[in-house]
Amino acid sequence: GAVVSQHPSRVICKSGTSVKIECRSLDFQATTMFWYRQFPKQSLMLMATSNEGSKATYEQGVEKDKFLINHASLTLSTLTVTSAHPEDSSFYICSARDTRYGLAGQSSYNEQFFGPGTRLTVL
């Protein structure tokens, strides 16, 4: 099956610093990647949809200047948490959409593959 990796798996940083999280599709190309945030004992909250070569689409309530997304290639999307604060501490999960599944304008059942997540702790 398709594999998605995230790096780092765990990061601890000081308040005010910026942290970059990478999401890679290892054996397939992904024109679209999704970034989720998961608080303890809560569901996944979609933060943004990352499209290769264009600007990301952010969900309502997500600050695009705080959570910078870059999707410069078909296998890599990055999420940068700028000027991180303790309330940004969370589990960040990405998923990647395999371009092989589904025709243009359509979608299929299993087109998204999830990464293992990145645990961010801001002190």
Partner 1 sequence: GEDVEQSLFLSVREGDSSVINCTYTDSSSTYLYWYKQEPGAGLQLLTYIFSNMDMKQDQRLTVLLNKKDKHLSLRIADTQTGDSAIYFCAEKESSASKIIFGSGTRLSIRP
Q: By CB under 8 A, name the binding residues for partner 1.
A: 4, 6, 32, 34, 41-44, 46, 49, 93, 95, 97, 106-107, 109-112, 114-117, 119
Nearest to 24 by CA among 101, 92, 115, 110: 115
Question: Which lies closer to partner 1 via its Cβ, residue 46 or residue 72?
Answer: 46
Q: Least distance to partner 1 from the beta carbon of 16, Å?
A: 26
Across-strand partners of 118?
92
Q: Least distance to partner 1 from the beta carbon of 105, Å?
A: 8
Nearest to 75 by CA among 103, 52, 92, 47: 52
Question: Which lies closer to partner 1 via its Cβ, residue 9 or residue 18?
Answer: 9
State how far the Cα of 13 lies from the Cα of 84, in Å rounded to an integer: 8
Q: Least distance to partner 1 from the beta carbon of 96, Å?
A: 11
Question: Which lies closer to partner 1 via its Cβ, residue 4 or residue 56?
Answer: 4
Judge whether 84 and 68 are in contact, CB under 8 Å.
no
Judge whether 93 and 38 are in contact, CB under 8 Å.
yes
Q: Where are the alpha helices (DSSP H) in 4-114?
A: none
Q: Least distance to partner 1 from the beta carbon of 83, Å?
A: 26
Question: Which lies closer to partner 1 via its Cβ, residue 16 or residue 116?
Answer: 116
